[in-house]
Amino acid sequence: MGKLSHNGIGENRLLTFAQSILKSMVGKDMTKMTLPVSFNEPTSLLQRCAEDMEYTDLLDTAAGRVDSTERMVYVAAFAASEYASTIGRVAKPFNPLLGETFEYARPDKEFRFFIEQVSHHPPIGAAWAESPRWTYWGESAVKSKFYGKSFDINPLGTWFLRLRPTNGDKEELYTWKKVTSSVIGIITGSPTVDNYGLMEVKNWTTGEVSTVNFKPRGWTASSAYNISGRVLDARGNPRFSLGGKWNSKMYARLTPGYEAPIEEPKAGELHHRDSVVDVNQAFLVWQANSRPTGIPFNLTPFVVTLNDINDKLRPYLPPTDTRLRPDQRAMEDGEYAFAATEKNRVEEKQRATRKRREMNGEEFVPHWFKKSTCEITGEEFWDFTGQYWEEREKAGRGEGNWEGVERIF
């Protein structure tokens, strides 16, 4: 992933700089503001969305479970797992340009992910991931505001999951909305990430529901990262109780007809994933991957892989791929002055393109997605056309050059 260097811009200097600027931004929507490159980490919001894919093994496990309420346990764990990577991530990802894209394919795990920035104001990224056992899609749309003491990011879009149980059960549709992420302590110079709110995961096929409560951080260290929840069957009766910490582990316990608090099992008491029949024992559902210290910007090892580009991959990528964006790449390589210059250039190019469209009475049309409506929930969503992967293969074979795709950088 390049040099991944701070290039002498330390966290203290960044925080001091941030304090002087952010004090003038209290109450404003941050998604509509242009900030200096020093506020950024060398990733984009499109890649932030791709971070959902770190724990797709939970979906594979869910598909292999016979009982639908147990499948819900693992789907809920997947929905909650993405927040583990937010620890210490106080720098801002790059705002994607309109039409910018990102792909992440993992043949070893049998899934591929794609996202396109389909709207600039409001900023919306349409995402689609597919595997033989599941399909996951939704829109990365947020509203963010700086309140002085905290910077809150409120997700707006619905996320959909179609799970295909391997036992032959009917395909299931799940939906949920993401919870609020917050960076507190910016002005005081001690920024800390918190995630809070109630997440409801619904199985529209069976009528089962799971709720996961991300509890706001309190004054004591023991209050940080706590989650609790439950899985209800189609009749509204408790089936499983959930608990743990969103930055490390999630546990479940079979509690048919009642709910029980979940405490982290002591050494020797932990039953793993196949021990759900014991109502006296909690079992481990999910555990965060290890996170070495010393990686710049507090990125995780998984995130570091997202910016990787090599000679084998490069011929397949469209000119809109995030990894080809010059300002983000320059920042990753520690060339901050050049990154700032390039950031200004690509943003000015985007403004000029928008003005040209307005003068010609044109509207931006996403290249790889189209608006649709879910027949089951009635909600609108961005439907992936599937053409991206076809064009990608043509480009990789030297049979195409991404005709019709705008050169946005």
pLDDT tens digits for range 175-220: 999 999 998 877 677 888 999 999 999 999 999 999 999 999 888 8
| Angstrom distance (rounded) from CA 356 to CA 386 | 29
Distance CA 116, CA 98 (A): 8
Residue the block writes with tokens 């039953």: 271
Q: Answer yes or no: is 246 within a domain.
A: no
Please report whether residue 133 resides in a domain. Answer: yes
* pLDDT confidence of residue 131: 98
Category of 357 on φ-ψ map: left (φ > 0), alpha (ψ -120 to 50) or beta: alpha
18, part of any domain: yes
Q: Does residue 340 lie in a domain region?
A: no
With respect to residue 335, please indicate whether it lies within any of the assigned structural domains.
no
pTM: 0.91
Residue 409 lies in a domain: no
| Assigned domain for 207 exists | no
Tell me: the pLDDT tens digits for 4-36? Answer: 655 444 555 555 555 565 565 555 565 556 667
* DSSP SS3 for 184: strand
Number of domains the chain contains? 1
Show the domain range for 178. Answer: 11-193
Residue 180 is assigned to a structural domain of this protein: yes
Q: What is the pLDDT of residues 335-364, one digit of tens each?
A: 999 999 999 999 999 999 999 999 999 999
Nearest to 316 by CA among 402, 189, 245: 402
DSSP 8-state symbol, 171: P
R_g of the chain, CA atoms, integer Å: 22
- DSSP H helical segments within 188-335, as ranges? 301-306, 326-332
